[in-house]
A and B are shown apart, each in its own frame.
Chain A
Amino acid sequence: MARPLGPVRLKRTNPLTLVLGGALCIFILWFILGQSTSDFSATRKAAAASHPLSPPTSPFRKSTSTGGKSKPPPVVHYNLNNVTITHNPVENRENVLILTPMVRFYQEYWDNLMKLTYPHELITLGFILPKNKEGNAATTDLQKQIAKTQKSGPERDRFKSIIILRQDFEPPIPSQDEVERHKMQNQKARRAAMAKARNSLLFTTLGPSTSWVLWLDADIIETPPTLIQDLARHDKPLVAPNCFQRYYNEDTKSMDERPYDFNNWQDSPTAQDLASKMGPDDILLEGYKDMATYRALMAYMHKPEDDLHQEVPLDGVGGTALLVKADVHRDGAMFPAFPFYHLIETEGFAKMAKRLGWQATGLPNYKVYHYNE
């Protein structure tokens, strides 16, 4: 048929097209709405507290109604008999609390944290930072990264909740520089302040739902992404990986690594002998030439040819990376800020845990890496 002259008429729309279009629209609608109620968010929603006065390990619902009387907080039951601590934490959906005392913020630390494969919706992060210039700078950097992850990052990367604490450290640490920091006479005061910071962080954030506490220093910049699962697999009350540091070896003209954390050790008769001769307020320190303790250090037990998951018993632990069952802390094991059996901070913690019946374990071949200044 010849095309008639006249106004160009649009071809009549096929009803099928309309139906298809409508269906598509509805599908898109459903997709957008449906996504927000997927089980991913549902678990988060279930974990959320209904009132701001709640354990900080869970997020809380912001009150949407600003006007009117606010309802009194609800009576909340927590059954700690149901908080499991098993060697398979992912399957049992166990909550992990990662605690970090922080003075300086390293981007590598955060990047490493983001790479952890443990489900992020089960991870709560806790930070404590000093209230000084350095601490303020670190807080700003940290908050920038947190905002990026929690607000605009993909849902998969977001952590369950994040707690930032600020505290005045009583004897102000002159500097966080490595040389100053490691001077022997500064050690006792520094580590006492550090112990108080750790305890403050621990006892205000532990809450009723945590199964595992991972102590991770702010200068640990490289760990295997399966760190939590690997350490939990051992099902030990305290598990410490071996802390190493990467450096440029001038001799071989290449990158190399060396042991870093000397606070993971097995006790020696020499050290006990030293301790017995000390006054009640003196402390034993590791890694100083003028105090030879002859303790067996885990740092030197590393053998590349051995099994990655080899275990050794420990009497003292360092806090650089340490996975602890929450029950150990709940029983009262803390970081003594005073000489406890001539030990202080993390080493004293291992001793106190032992007094409560919990033995520390070390993994000499499982390595994490410390920042190199």
Chain B
Amino acid sequence: MSPMLPYASSSGSKAIPRHNVSGYSNGYPRGNTFEISPHRFQPRGTTPSYRRRRRLLVRFTIALAVCGLIAVFVWPRASFLSLFSLGLLSSGEDFQLETVRYYDLSNVQGTARGWEREERILLCVPLRDAEPHLPMFFSHLRNFTYPHHLIDLAFLVSDSKDRTLEVLSNSLEAIQADPDDMQHYGEISIIEKDFGQKVNQDVESRHGFAAQASRRKLMAQARNWLLSAALRPYHSWVYWRDVDVETAPFTILEDLMRHNKDVIVPNVWRPLPDWLGGEQPYDLNSWQESETALALADTLDEDAVIVEGYAEYATWRPHLAYLRDPYGDPDMEMEIDGVGGVSILAKAKVFRHGVHFPAFSFEKHAETEGFGKMARRMDFSVVGLPHYTIWHLYEPSVDDIKHMEQMEQERLAREQEEKEKAEKAKKMKESFSDATSQWEKDKTDMQNIALQEKKKKDSPDGTPKDQPGKQAPAAGKPAEKKEEVHAAPKAAAPAAKKE
């Protein structure tokens, strides 16, 4: 390197070396060239550091970008912002997560025209081994006229041995995936909880008197679990609906809401086969309190439960169900004390204030009847509509089934009998009709013979004046008879077929 060293003396120049003296160090004499840009040669062994640094920076940025991209793919929701905020702000999820909720309960008191104020309804359905009823229930669900997005659905599936849960969740997924936006419901919760119920759910054990108290307490427990898990601060109304309602107006939510009562129930009947009278009151749990029942309640011990509709407790209460007039005003209201659980619309504030379905004996009542009693105790209005009817599914009881089997057998026996009878009649007719036709034929033949003989007799001598008159009908008769002869087998044939 030493020859390159810019020693002023080596150049032989008299100029005082300046700081850009390196220009002269290229081995060429400076001469008299006035240089701006001196020829100089430097081996390019190393790239200038500034360029190296720039290249490094570019590479590093590229690497950073690649890293970033990978990060974005690996944690799609990850905090990219935290890079720029240097993690000083909260980490990524919290940008997306809302942890604080604020609700004003005075906005969700429930009014008569809730659909206009966008009031939310919680629809509660307790289920147990209800698979066969679900398709019917979902057809009702699709038909509700209350805006679906304002209805939150909550189901409690308990101790079910059939495919209730599976069918239920598939049907609900189908509703939420419906191409029609109007069908989509709000929040949907399916709650599973087994209470270890030993009571069977078939009609006979369900309605047996002895099982009632403990069964109703367990039912109450299930209802309370469902409500406490599903009630939210934004609900204005709660609607309880049994899954086995067969027919109900599509507008039932609006119809009941319009009355603006704290608790309201329709009348529940069920259709019956004709031999049982065509229809029957079903829900006997909606009633008005009576003096007899109050007196009865005082004689019972603390844990006893009065159940309605059983001969064991004669309460003489006026039942909503029996007051129905098919042509009555459907808007007529009646104050009641106990309510049935098939279809209850209640303001959410009733439940918020603590009214629930007592799973213990509350004033000698449990479950929905106790609910009605407790609501009355807290000065809420409890009302039934005697002439507004929904129809519960008819499930034949064991007696009914026996009776129906008997009837079926009778019917079959009768049919058999009739068939036999018909066959007999047919046979007889066939044999008889043969005889008649034969007889008719013979008769006509004989008449014809007689006629011919007469003609032969009459033709030589003149007939008396009235004779032709008499003859005419006589002549006509055989013709008629002949027709009859032809007609008779024709008429007999279809008749026999019919039989």
Interface residues of A (CB under 8 A from B): 4-7, 9-10, 12-13, 18, 22, 25-26, 29, 32-33, 35-37, 41, 44-45, 48, 51-56, 59-62, 64, 69, 72-81, 131, 146, 150-152, 155, 158-168, 195-196, 199-200, 203-208, 329-332, 334-338, 352, 355-356
Contacts and interface: CB of A to CB of B under 8 A. Distances in A.
Contacts of B194: 81
Contacts of A36: 75, 78-79, 82, 91-93
B105 A330 contact: no
B239 interface: no
Interface in B162-195: 169, 172-173, 176, 181, 184-194
B60 A330 contact: no
Contact of B22 (A6, A74, A159): A6
A195 B187 contact: no
Interface in B56-96: 56, 60, 63-64, 67, 71, 75, 78-79, 82-83, 86-87, 90-94, 96
Given A73-B187, A161-B101, A163-B103, A81 B352 contact: no
The 5 closest A-B pairs by CB, nearest first: A199-B354, A72-B184, A36-B91, A53-B187, A334-B354
B97 A10 contact: no
A239 B174 CA distance: 45
A18 B101 contact: no
Contacts of B106: 131, 166-168
Given A44-B93, A131-B104, A199-B354, A55 B99 contact: no
Contacts of B187: 51, 53-54, 73, 76
Contacts of B351: 203
Contacts of A164: 100-103
A81 B176 CA distance: 26
B233 A56 contact: yes
B221 A332 contact: yes
B169 A77 contact: yes
Interface stretch (B224-232, B257-265, B270-278): B224-232
A62 B98 CA distance: 6
7 contacts: A73-B188, A80-B191, A165-B233, A167-B105, A200-B105, A204-B232, A337-B354
A62 B22 contact: no
Nearest to B229: A208
Contact of A33 (B52, B78, B99, B191): B78
Secondary structure class of chain B's binding surface, majority of residues:
mixed
Nearest to B371: A332
Q: Which of B83, B149, B176, B187 has the most CB of A within 10 A?
A: B187
Nearest to B21: A5
Q: Which of B53, B79, B194 has the most CB of A within 10 A?
A: B79
B56 A33 contact: no
Given A59-B98, A72-B176, A37 B233 contact: no
B488 interface: no
Interface stretch (B203-211, B289-297, B356-364, B415-423): B356-364
Given A75-B190, A356-B360, 17 more contacts: A9-B49, A29-B71, A33-B71, A41-B93, A44-B93, A59-B97, A75-B176, A78-B192, A80-B225, A81-B192, A146-B100, A163-B100, A167-B106, A206-B228, A330-B225, A334-B354, A355-B361
A168 B91 CA distance: 38
Contacts of B36: none
A29 B67 contact: yes
Nearest to B109: A168
A199 B353 contact: yes
A13 B55 CA distance: 13
Contacts of B5: 4-5
B378 interface: yes
B220 interface: yes
Contacts of B349: 200
A333 to B, nearest CB: 9
Contacts of A151: 90, 94
A78 B153 CA distance: 13
A160 B163 CA distance: 35
B402 interface: no
B87 to A, nearest CB: 5
